[in-house]
């Protein structure tokens, strides 16, 4: 598998021999060569937890026919303290526009390590096949294989057999991985005989799109977003080998799919970034899941929105305050007690300035809007690059590495400075209701939380 160094992106030049330009992710040349630009170096697995912040790692082959594999992350302290109680299982699906990045690369190795340690969960990070060598639906099939493997009651994997609780299985993914996680959960809802079940789904800045431009997507065409609109428009036809356009239901989910998901998966979390080109698609998915829960018997759906941030910020700036807060929200979601059975209860609705509570014959339906603030000090960039490494390259939006260019991001291990605005902390009520007359500083919306302190 080709493994390009991220620092090479500063040398990016479009030549006559380039057939497809999906910068900053991938170039395809006329002779068929593929150059993946956005990928960090590979990291070896180690079953010694002392070398990886208390998390042991091990690589396994999931499917010997396709060669699909995964990296397992076992938090040794959580496993030791659990006793007879088993750990939740997180099947993690990495992002990278369906065509780059890896479960074995430094970016996702470190993120999965942090998730396993913070959540006390056994993480199965899927190394799925990438387009264009393996067009969609290969990635979907690989994620499905990994879910079945991780939840099989006949597993022979020693870590899963000794520590995993398949009844508490979560599908988690970011960007393209968020799309794959969603569809894997839908597939599980339709084929319950093949998997134990999925307790919850977490999709972070998910890649969903459509043929018609939404208002926020039109405003993202001004050249300030990490993901330019014209690049997103061209991505799906490329990763499907020209067999599907942007009207494809795999990137524009149908109501029937969402209804199927909510019938069996009772907990969904959608996380979006305020400046992300894909933000509005994520918010709309949250609303549709919420409406389905209202109609189909209840569940729990949470929207987490990170103010002042763009696509992928939590991966490339993991020590940033908003990244830590997002991680905390995901950890709390995973470790929250299971959603109640469908035996009646209390219905709570809080969204867009509206709040109501009433007794209903449905289960507990909780809808949350979590607003994450932005930090008041520069971030430390531990990966040598960050989300503000954007510059104009010959009229095309691109990302420049931390070395050189106009970016002032500090090198790894040094205090960093940034050209980004020095935002203040988000304070006060979340989307305050003008008619609210309660105590000062309180939120008008029950079930809606605003994080105001991060360090």
Active-site residue numbers? 175, 276, 311
Q: State how far the Cα of 381 lies from the Cα of 434, in Å rounded to an integer.
A: 40
CA 395 → CA 9, 15, 285, distances in Å? Answer: 16, 15, 32
Q: State how far the Cα of 236 lies from the Cα of 219, in Å rounded to an integer.
A: 21
- What lies within 8 Å, CB to CB, of 149 at 6+ separation is 62, 63, 70, 155
Q: 270 pairs with which residues across the strands? A: 203, 303
The answer to whether the beta carbons of residues 402 and 409 sit under 8 Å apart is yes
Say which DSSP state 86 is in.
P
Q: Which stretches does DSSP call E strand in 299-409?
A: 300-306, 345-351, 354-360, 365-372, 390-393, 396-399
Residue 137, classed as helix, strand or coil, is coil
The answer to whether the beta carbons of residues 238 and 22 sit under 8 Å apart is yes
Q: State how far the Cα of 420 lies from the Cα of 313, in Å rounded to an integer.
A: 13
Q: State how far the Cα of 154 lies from the Cα of 161, in Å rounded to an integer.
A: 9
Which of 347, 309, 275 is CA-nearest to residue 454?
A: 309
b/e 263-294 (16+ beta carbons within 10 angstroms → b) = ebbbbbbbbbbbbbbbbbbbbbbbbbbbebbb
């Amino acid at each position: 598998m080709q493994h390009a160094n991220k620092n090479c992106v500063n040398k990016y030049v479009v030549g006559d021999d380039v057939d497809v330009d999906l910068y900053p992710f991938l170039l395809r040349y006329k002779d068929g060569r593929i150059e993946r630009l956005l990928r960090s170096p590979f990291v070896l697995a180690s079953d010694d937890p002392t070398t990886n912040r208390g998390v042991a790692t091990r690589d396994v082959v999931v499917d010997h026919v396709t060669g699909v594999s995964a990296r397992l992350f076992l938090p040794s302290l959580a496993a030791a303290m659990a006793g007879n109680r088993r750990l939740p299982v997180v099947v993690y699906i990495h992002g990278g526009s369906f065509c780059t990045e890896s479960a074995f690369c430094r970016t996702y190795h470190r993120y999965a390590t942090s998730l396993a340690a913070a959540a006390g969960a056994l993480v199965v990070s899927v190394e799925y096949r990438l387009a264009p060598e393996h067009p969609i639906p290969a990635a979907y099939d690989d994620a499905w294989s990994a879910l079945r493997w991780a939840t099989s009651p006949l597993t022979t994997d020693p870590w899963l057999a000794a520590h995993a609780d398949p009844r508490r299985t979560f599908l988690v993914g970011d960007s393209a991985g968020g799309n794959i996680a969603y569809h894997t959960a839908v597939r599980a809802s339709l084929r319950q005989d093949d998997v134990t079940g999925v307790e919850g789904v977490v999709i972070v800045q998910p890649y969903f799109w459509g043929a018609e431009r939404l208002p926020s997507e039109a405003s993202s065409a001004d050249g300030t977003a990490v993901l330019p609109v014209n690049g997103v428009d061209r991505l799906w036809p490329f990763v499907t080998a020209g067999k599907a356009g942007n009207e494809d239901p795999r990137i524009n989910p149908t109501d029937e799919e969402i209804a199927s998901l909510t019938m069996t998966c009772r907990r969904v979390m959608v996380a979006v970034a305020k400046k992300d080109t894909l933000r509005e698609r994520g918010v709309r998915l949250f609303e549709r899941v919420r409406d389905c829960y209202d109609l189909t018997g209840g569940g729990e759906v949470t929207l987490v929105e990170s103010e002042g941030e763009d696509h992928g910020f939590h991966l490339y700036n993991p020590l940033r305050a908003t990244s830590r807060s997002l991680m905390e929200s995901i950890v709390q979601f995973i470790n929250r007690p299971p959603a109640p059975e469908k035996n009646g209860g209390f219905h709570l609705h809080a969204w867009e300035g509206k709040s109501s509570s009433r007794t209903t014959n449905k289960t507990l339906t909780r809808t949350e809007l979590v607003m994450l603030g932005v930090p008041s000090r520069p971030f430390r960039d531990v990966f040598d690059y960050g989300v503000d490494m954007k510059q104009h390259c010959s009229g095309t939006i691109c990302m420049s590495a931390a070395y050189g260019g106009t970016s002032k991001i500090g090198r790894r291990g040094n205090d960093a400075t940034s050209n980004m605005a020095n935002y203040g902390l988000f304070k006060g009520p979340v989307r305050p209701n003008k008619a609210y007359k309660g105590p000062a500083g309180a939120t008008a919306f029950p079930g809606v939380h605003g994080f105001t302190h991060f360090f």
